[in-house]
Amino acid sequence: MTEKTSPDLRPAPRDPAEEAMATPTGPLEMERRMHALGDAATWEDVDAQAHRAWDAPYGPPETWAVDAEDREIPGPHGPVPVRVCTPRAPADGPRPCLVWLHGGGFVHGDLDMPEGDHVARGVAGRADAVVVSVDYRLCDGFDGSPAREFPGGPEHVTAPIPLDDVCAAATWTRSSADTLGIDPARVAIGGASAGGNLAAAASLRLTDEGTLPAASLLMYLVAHPVRPEPDAEEAQALAATPPMVRFPLETMQAMSSNYLGRPFQEATPYDFPGLADPGQLAALPRTYIETDEYDDLRVSGRRYAEQLREAGVDVEYVVRRGVCHGHLNRVGLAEARDSMDRMGDLVRGL
């Protein structure tokens, strides 16, 4: 179930009949599995059967008549790997396009993870659109473990290098419109989690450079270096979330510090878009923000939606009920299909 918000970003009143149809009769499947984890402090303390159930797929993967081509495009720090997903059916004209960014805390993730590949194919198929999934450079782990190797340099990655890769991919996508069969005026940018941060930051930078994206699709993004305070409903949901799937403040601060590679006070809106002032935000395109009910990052997503609306941006803010952070990585999950349906509608309508 989703909840769209009224202008103050709180759930709008519903007709009682609509409420009855929209409210599930019992726990949603991901929520049910989450509750089975209990309140154990670590994964080692979780019941083995509950742990296996948590990791199990929710259904078969989707199949779409989409061709995927892996390429390397030029970037300021070396080649940037991308995967171009194109519907096989003949097009009536230039297609819309989504530049898509996986998540992974700025240290993990690739083009093959469900959030990267399954989502790219799913949106391409739903929207009859081209999706360019970007494998931006990753930072070393919080513990100093080396990042996955990328073609070219640099050896040590911090902000703004991943953003440089993303902006290079967006620029290449527009400039390759004829080859890709897309309309350069209908290129949106989107991402999930850390990828949502990069999509929002790229929207800011590209807009400042005079190349406004057609729209931004931001899925459970992190928009602030330090998490804003939750409201009462958010706090209640987070209190019901098992510790293993939460992002406590110390984890969030470690991720932000690791990505920045410099003190928080030196962070810019291109690092964390929630730091932008209303004047900078006001120029942004239509933005869709979706957060997960049982996710600490929902507070940052909600606050960023409020900031955009206060700046006069056309914003749609949705809480995806019954799911934890990263639900687009859960193959076969009904709520992940719902999210991709909405993303497909938005891209198709560009």
| Count of beta carbons in the 10 Å neighbourhood of residue 109 | 23
Long-range contact set of residues 118-121: C-beta below 8 Å, sequence gap at least 24: 118/61, 118/62, 118/328, 118/331, 119/192, 119/328, 119/340, 119/343, 120/68, 120/83, 120/85, 121/62, 121/64, 121/66, 121/68, 121/85
Active site residue 193: yes
> Of residues 102, 118, 325, 327, which has the active-site annotation?
325
Query: CB–CB of 219/320 below 8 Å?
Result: no
> Of residues 193, 203, 216, 300, which has the active-site annotation?
193
* Unique residue bearing structure tokens 């804003």: 228
Rounded to 5 degrees, what are φ and ψ at 261? 70, 15
Long-range contact set of residues 63-67: C-beta below 8 Å, sequence gap at least 24: 64/121, 64/122, 64/124, 64/125, 65/89, 65/125, 66/121, 66/124, 66/125
Active site residue 295: yes
* Unique residue bearing structure tokens 């990655």: 157
169-191: burial string, b at 16+ Cβ within 10 Å, e else: bbbbbbebbeebebbbebbbbbb
Q: Name, in order, each residue with C-beta under 8 angstroms of 281's C-beta and a sequence gap of 6 or more.
A: 204, 273, 307, 308, 311, 313
| Count of beta carbons in the 10 Å neighbourhood of residue 212 | 15
| Collapsed DSSP state (helix, strand, coil) of residue 204 | helix
> Of residues 135, 295, 296, 338, which has the active-site annotation?
295
Active site residue 277: no
Tokens of 180: 């890709």
Catalytic residue set: 193, 295, 325
